[in-house]
Amino acid sequence: MSLRAVKGLVIGMAVILAVGFAALIGGMVQQLSSGKDDRPPYSATLDLPVGARIATIAPAGRRLAVLVTLVDGSAEIRFLDPETGRVTGVVAAE
């Protein structure tokens, strides 16, 4: 093969790579900018004692851990099942 043919092949492969990367990046941008989320929004009611407040919420496996600060200064963690909205456990801390 001549040097001219090798240069042509290298340029052709570079063009194919550039087009492929552009298509890949374009597809990623389109997916990220579509903003569609097929999951329904989460909604639950958590019954708390009077004066209690939610300090923080964090994921805990397949549950949500809700740190609740009570009026007397104590705290408890309530584990909430996101699928049912029910409290599945309570850990009291003093």
pLDDT (average), residues 55-74: 92
Nearest to 63 by CA among 46, 41, 85, 47: 85
Residue 48, φ and ψ in degrees, nearest 5:
-120, 150
* Higher local confidence (pLDDT), 94 or 53: 53
pTM, to two decimals: 0.55
Residue 44 CA to residue 75 CA, distance in Å, equals 21
Which band of pLDDT confidence, cut at 50, 70 and 90, is reported for residue 75? very high
Which band of pLDDT confidence, cut at 50, 70 and 90, is reported for residue 94? low
